[in-house]
Every structure is written in structure tokens, then in C-alpha cells.
């Protein structure tokens, strides 16, 4: 539960903290849960990679890609106009 709270940035639970203190050093994830956590972490790292972003682009339609590109270009143009002056 603590791992999931950290992963999804959920508020801490006093009950979790109390259970951890009562367990002492015997707090350990079951093997199946550890595998799931590891798989989730690998999946998230893949999504954050350039390849993951490219795969995400394949799932978008062309209009969405055009809109995102135009918004990015407009934002860059505005930022350049604010930061650069001749």
C-alpha cells in the first residue's frame, strides 16, 4: 500500500504507518506483488522513453498531431518573442 501511495501520490495513511511500525523489519512485498511492481516500473520507463512517445504518436490521429505541433510552435514563437529582442 505504501508503494502504491508513493507511486500515485496519494495521501499517507496513519493506519499504514502504524502497521509498518508494528511489523518492524518484517515488512516485505509478496513475490507476485513485487513482480507486478517491477513490471509497472519497466512499463512506465518505456512510456517515458522516446520510443514510447513515438508509439503514443501512432495511436493519435493526424488532426491531433497537427494541433499539438501548432500549439508547440505557437508557444515557442511567443517565448522567443518575449526572450529575444533585436
SS (H, E, C) the chain: CHHHHHHCCCCCCHHHHHHHHHHHHHCCCCHHHHHHHHHHHHHHHHHHCHHHHHHHHHHCCHHHHHHHHHHHHHHHHHHHHHHCCC
Q: Which domain holds residue 44?
A: 2-83
Residue 15: the pLDDT is 79
Q: Locate 68 and state its grid cell.
A: 499539438
Checking if the pLDDT of 1 tops 70, the result is: no
Residue 9: the pLDDT is 76
Q: How many domains does the chain have?
A: 1
Residue 70: the pLDDT is 93
Mind listing the pLDDT tens digit for each residue in 63-85? Answer: 887 888 899 999 998 888 888 76
Q: Locate 29 and state its grid cell.
A: 512485498
| Mean pLDDT value across residues 24-39 | 76
- CA 18 to each of CA 9, 51, 55: distance values in angstroms, whole numbers, following the listed order: 19, 42, 43
- Cα-Cα-Cα-Cα torsion 36, 41, 43, 44, nearest 10 degrees, comes to 140
Mind listing the pLDDT tens digit for each residue in 38-58? Answer: 888 887 777 677 776 777 767
Residue 85: the pLDDT is 67
Checking if the pLDDT of 25 tops 70, the result is: no
Amino acid at each position: 500500500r505504501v508503494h502504491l501511495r508513493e507511486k500515485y501520490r496519494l495521501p499517507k495513511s496513519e493506519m499504514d504507518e502504524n502497521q509498518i511500525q508494528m511489523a518492524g523489519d518484517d515488512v516485505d512485498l509478496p513475490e507476485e506483488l513485487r513482480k507486478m511492481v517491477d513490471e509497472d516500473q519497466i512499463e512506465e520507463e518505456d512510456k517515458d522513453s522516446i520510443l514510447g512517445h513515438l508509439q503514443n504518436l501512432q495511436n493519435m490521429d493526424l488532426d491531433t498531431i497537427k494541433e499539438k505541433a501548432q500549439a508547440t510552435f505557437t508557444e515557442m514563437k511567443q517565448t522567443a518573442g518575449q526572450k529575444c529582442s533585436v
